[in-house]
Amino acid sequence: DVKVTQSSRYLVKRTGEKVFLECVQDMDHENMFWYRQDPGLGLRLIYFSYDVKMKEKGDIPEGYSVSREKKERFSLILESASTNQTSMYLCASTSSSNQPQHFGDGTRLSIL
């Protein structure tokens, strides 16, 4: 069965800290995505990657960066966390064919 694993369910950090959110998939998928989920706004795409070492900006990349050193792992980085980055973060992956995205269970991040 498809499995997308996010390293933390809940995370609390302080303003100005550098924060890493990790995502691993076991399906050999080429495409991986990071979204944030906020009430009433649905999911908004932050960054995505079509292959190892490749990354593309999504709709709201400001304040974030990503890393894809291995095919199965896609990391989201908050360079200097701010309170407006408090949110639920969801990782997803899919193969390069016309297939649906598979989601992890999410990381609820609070920035104090």
Partner 1 sequence: GDSVTQMEGPVTLSEEAFLTINCTYTATGYPSLFWYVQYPGEGLQLLLKATKADDKGSNKGFEATYRKETTSFHLEKGSVQVSDSAVYFCALRRNNAGNMLTFGGGTRLMVKP
Residues within window 59-88 making contact with partner 1, judged by CB under 8 A: none
Q: Which stretch binds partner 1 (CB under 8 A): 14-22, 34-42, 62-70, 75-83?
A: 34-42
Please tell me whether residue 26 binds partner 1 under the rule CB under 8 A. no
3-state secondary structure the chain: CCCEEECCCEEEECCCCCEEEEEEECCCCCEEEEEEEECCCEEEEEEEECCCCCCEECCCCCCEEEEEEECCEEEEEECCCCHHHCEEEEEEEECCCCCCCEECCCEEEEEC
Q: Which of 43, 60, 72, 73 binds partner 1 (CB under 8 A)?
A: 43
Stretch in the footprint of partner 1 (CB under 8 A) among 12-20, 41-49, 62-70, 75-83:
41-49
Size of the site for partner 1 (CB under 8 A): 26
Q: Which residues bind partner 1 (CB under 8 A)?
A: 4, 31, 33, 35, 39-45, 48, 50, 58, 90, 92, 94, 96, 98-101, 103-106
